[in-house]
Structure 1
Amino acid sequence: MKKKLLLILIGMLMFSIFITGCAGGVSFPDVTESGVIVQIAGRGRPMENIPLSVRITNNTTDFISDVKVKLISIDNHSDLSPFELWRGAREIDTEEIANSAIIESGKAVTATFTITSYDYIDARAYPMTFQVSYRDNNGALQTITKNGIIDLVVPNKFYKAMRDIIEFLHKFTFNYGLAIILVTLLLKLLTHPLTKKQFKSTAGMTKLQPEIKKIQKKYKSDPQKANQETMKLYKENNVSMFGGCLPLLVQWPLLLVLFGSLTNYAPFNLERFLWLSNLNTPDKYYIMSVLVLVSMFVQSKTSQMPGQVQDQNMKMMMYFLPVIFAVWSIKWSPSLLLYWITFSFVQAGEQLYILKHLARTTQIVPKKGKEEK
């Protein structure tokens, strides 16, 4: 069980790293030259929302004020084609970001523009031009024009395949929210045999615990012999000690691919779902985060095997993990949360069904062998 718990924790760590990678911002190198320094960066994939970051660093000895950043062109096109602006205007007043019209000496402010493309355009470097205007400490208007590139990389083939499935389902549901729910149900149906095997293995190990404790007590001075007898007991009763862990290794990659395919997918900008204006803008009412909390708690409660003693650490995880994920989810897009909520509720129902089925059909009774003299 400790190994299984460790595997679950590793999976959650991978999940957290994946989320951080999806939501992480641009990291600019430190600048040492003097003056007002402008750095720009943009990286993404076709058919995704792409953040373009512009950092203005005041490396002068005085403050600057009234700083404005304007997106002039992309690929030498003033209409930004083959992209288009998503959310916000083409000019940003940094006072709206920093809550101050002044950038002090040695300080920096970053403005972010979000562009998108609704077609699989060429994956290449696209030139972009920004104009930064500000007033120096004497009130004189200064202007800096800065060029850079948008590094558009080839779409992830696994994400693209999953998005193609979502688009296929969208033709029948006419709504991306319903398509996400349906693809989650299909994925859960696909992994049901693995989940059932996982619970069956765990149930077998739980029923064997009394016999294992007897072996541990009998051979407490000989750990090697105790381990041999334990493995023999598992083999005699067709129980794999790794049976509860291995299915997770198969399921997690599938879940992560679906999670990644839902991140920043441009067509989600265009449709409403229930109270949500679109599936890429965080829920301002926090209803989705509350549902994350409830669904994860329900899923945790239904995962415990009958007769299985839950230690204090597992109880703490059951109560605190849903809270932690709910807090994190406040800034996640509804498309991701809709998948996670659907998955958790369906998983809870699936677990109840499997446990009920095992209670009726599973009879794992240790075979009695010759006692050691």
Structure 2
Amino acid sequence: MSGMWTLVLNCGSSSVKFALLNPASGEVRLSGLAERLGAPEASVRLERDGGRTTHALRGGAYAEAFDVLLAELEALGVRSEVSAVGHRVVHGGERFSAPARITSDVLDAIRACVPLAPLHNPANLSGIEAARAAFPGVPHVAVFDTAFHQTMPDVAYRYAVPEAWYTRHGVRRYGFHGTSHAFVAAEAAALLGRPLAELNLVTAHLGNGSSVCAVQGGRSVDTSMGLTPLEGLVMGTRSGDVDPGLHDYLARQSGLTLSEITAALNRESGLLGLSNLASDMRELEAAAAGGHAGARLAVDVFVYRLAKTVAGMAVALGRLDGLIFTGGIGENSATIRAATLRRLAVLGFEVDEEANAGAVRGQSGLITAGGVPALVVNTNEELSIARQTEEVLAQ
């Protein structure tokens, strides 16, 4: 090994993705994914030298997944060659419009945003704390999901609520998955053979957490998530949009506290709540094909809400030059992509069934036969985070 090697940690609400890579060349020495954390089926998949191994995580916790990563770095003899650590952080509020080198002040700011991202910022902080303890002699950089969306105009980010709520408490729409939305928009422009600055694109990052973004000339002008990652699309365990009056109504009818209701909307709703079966789209598609009514409903609602939101983003753009599917569901589920495009036929999408069925992880490309192009683009948040980390350290 030679050159600069950056370890990237991407701690999500139920997963940890990691990679040891060279930001300049994109070469990956080690990568992995710990998923379904907190569940009995938790596991970590490691990839290196063209091989793949999977380990069950008996405790299913973030700390256990991190221990597996460190053990693998030790086994490879590369732990000492880590020159920087880049961390994905979901919520940076209005303070961060760019990545930042992690200091005690930056950590305090990330903690202050925990109420805005209760499923994510605590996991991000846990990853930062564990990595700083394991790599105390190297710089650590936070790359914020919200930063990309700081270019949204006020008509997109302001809520119709009392002005003081915004000025005193920061109540506004922030947006998330910014690193992924920015990366796949640039990749799509290259695939289409057109300058990103000339394109009006809708990017759909679909996974356990999902969001859609209107990208105009490479800048975010609107997105589906809001103050927290709870707003917007139906997600794995998150409800997405609901009537704000739901809290008061349920508190009166059920006796639940506001915190309990919010927790249920974050952890017991979405695909899981609709299906009463699972939060994983792979399981739901299989169950729906087998006749499970709840699974069928969950899949249908997911697609319907996604198509409505994509159509709404066309208003923000004024002209739609392409739709991009990415993320775990977006890259792997031909069923979800086809169903969504059929609902969006009104906007000029014509799904190419053969191309769509053949688009699997690792293969980006066009999946429409005519009209407005739709593409599958494999996101690479780890490479983007590594490059942004190096840019911060070079300043």
Give the TM-score normalised by structure 1.
Answer: 0.28
Greater Rg by CA: 1
Pick the structure with more helix per residue.
Answer: 1
* Greater length-normalized contact order (CA 8 Å, ≥ 6 residues apart): 1
Give the TM-score normalised by structure 2.
Answer: 0.27
